[in-house]
Amino acid sequence: MVRLAGGSLATLYTQFGSKEGLFLAFMQDQHDRFAREMRPDCVDDLPLEQALQVVGEHFLRRLLQRDSLAFFRVMVSEGRRMPEQLRRYFTSGGMNVVHDELVKQLKHAGLSDTDAREGLSYFIELLRSHHHFQAISDPNYVVSDADLKTHVGKAVRFLLNGMKLG
């Protein structure tokens, strides 16, 4: 593979240190791109429910794109050999971009920082739920725009009711 790319193993190890280093560079590059693309247009001026809907739709659409699904599959399968890197991905990632975007709004609505962050982690999991799993396991799985909006709307209402904000 290295020869096909016009290089050598010596160059690879000089540049990345090891196969693990190459994998980490790949993960970081994909992660950074995903995180940049997760941030929707500014939602600061929107009411909380509408902001959650916009962010939720944007997040789920991006999460279900083919390149995101492919990256997730690689990360999980290869990450078993590098559990520390996999843990790092899950604790600092595109998901945190979404959290940070909405934590300030939930805090403004009266929640503590801890409650806002915990509530949003549940919200992210509600968004992912069966759609992400289905898309990972079935390359032909498609969510219609109407179904996506309905799904996000239900997750928003669940979060707001559960946090006693709705």
Stretch 132-149: mean pLDDT, rounded?
A: 95
Domains observed in the chain:
24-162 (1.10.357.10)
Model confidence pLDDT, tens digit, residues 10-35: 776 777 787 777 777 777 787 777 77
Model confidence pLDDT, tens digit, residues 78-88: 777 777 767 76
Residue 61: pLDDT over 90: yes
Plot region of 6 (φ>0 → left; ψ -120 to 50 → alpha; else → beta): left
Band of pLDDT at residue 156, cut at 50, 70 and 90 = very high
User: Burial of 4 by CB count in 10 Å (0-12 exposed, 13-18 middle, 19+ buried)?
Assistant: exposed
Band of pLDDT at residue 142, cut at 50, 70 and 90 = very high
pLDDT score at 26: 77
- The Cβ of residue 41 has, within 10 Å, a number of other Cβ atoms equal to 8
Stretch 43-57: mean pLDDT, rounded?
A: 87
List Cβ neighbours of 119 (8 Å cut-off, separation of 6 or more): 106, 111, 159, 162, 163
pTM across the whole model: 0.79
| H or E stretch at 159 | helix 145-162
